[in-house]
Chains A and B, each alone.
Chain A
Amino acid sequence: MVVLAEASAWSYVGLAYGVTIGLLGGYTAWMLRRGRKIGRQLPAEDRTWSS
């Protein structure tokens, strides 16, 4: 019973960490990809951070 409860608790912990990593990873990937796409359309002199 204790082993089952432990396994169940770990599955919830795994779900919480999976959801967090998935959300942050997905958002980061979208943002970086969009940054590259938009950045390409912008003249180099307007990208003041990359100088």
Chain B
Amino acid sequence: MTSPPTGTGAGFMRLHPDGTASRGSRILGAVVLVSVVVFLFLALVASKPDESLDAQGQLVRIMYLHVPSAIACYTAFFVTAAASAMYLWKKTMGWDALAASSAEIGVIFVVITLLTGSIWGHTTWGTWWEWDPRLTSTALMFVMYLGYLALRRAIIDPVSRAKQSAVLGIIAIVNVPIVHFSVDWWRSLHQTATVASLDPKINGLRLLALFVGMIVALMLYVWLMMHRFRLAYAEAALEAKGLDLALAERRAEALADGGAVPASVEHEGVS
């Protein structure tokens, strides 16, 4: 006798059928988990400390987190801007949910970028923080996207919220190229690009660790997006159901009072 394909007895792939997981997200999650283990082995065990002229020693291992998380947050914020533009064009809530999900994950990655950079800077520059162009513009980017998330929480009406945050999502992306090119445009304490040149500053297993770190960060971003987008979709669906219920209650109250249904309720009920 076989058990139904739901519940805890249904095996690994369907442990929580009421959650945000799907078969695809579980497979990708397993791949990400294995990749993280491979990355940690490369970053902490297999790769040698940096003994070049401007030697960072063991601290080079922090770069394998810092650079990939920066790339993941750039990607997340570009997706937010693109989805915001699509929302303003198509006016469908799916694009809004995609933009919001990506912004939230981007904020997590930018926090990691700032913290790992700060830890590295404390030992290398002798300070946790410096008002350097790269650091300042990154902090500004963090504050802007935190503002984006705060704006979303401040507006109750879903349409108004989606429209206003889409505008902010497009404006905020202007800062991302400024962050990236700040080390070239202004005199900066922060080092210039490590691999984005014909003569990269690292090679061998160190380059491989950095490269694998970037792939893992991007895969992790995609996996987190799958779950976060579904969560945002579920939240929006529940919000819409709650709104429909409130409208039905108001309509019933108006009818019970013997009066006509208010025009606003009638209008919203039709749409």
- Chain A interface (Cβ within 8 Å of chain B)? 5-6, 8-10, 12-13, 15-17, 19-20, 23-24, 27-28, 31-32, 34-36, 38-42, 44, 46-47, 49-50
Contacts and interface: CB of A to CB of B under 8 A. Distances in A.
Given A19-B112, A38-B235, A42-B237, A12 B230 contact: no
Contacts, number: 104
A36 B234 CA distance: 10
A38 B112 contact: no
A9 B123 contact: yes
B228 A31 contact: yes
Q: SS class of chain A's interface: helix, strand, loop or mixed?
A: helix
A4 to B, nearest CB: 13
Give the secondary structure class of B's interface. Answer: helix
A15 B21 CA distance: 31
Interface of B: 16-22, 25, 40, 44, 57-59, 61-62, 65-66, 69, 108, 111-112, 115-116, 119-120, 122-123, 220, 224, 227-228, 230-231, 234-235, 237-238
A11 B111 CA distance: 20
A28 B224 contact: yes
Contacts of A23: 108, 111-112, 115
B57 A24 contact: no
25 contacts: A9-B123, A12-B62, A13-B62, A15-B119, A16-B66, A16-B119, A17-B40, A17-B61, A20-B69, A23-B115, A24-B220, A27-B224, A28-B224, A31-B231, A32-B19, A32-B21, A35-B20, A35-B234, A36-B18, A38-B234, A39-B18, A39-B234, A47-B18, A49-B21, A50-B18
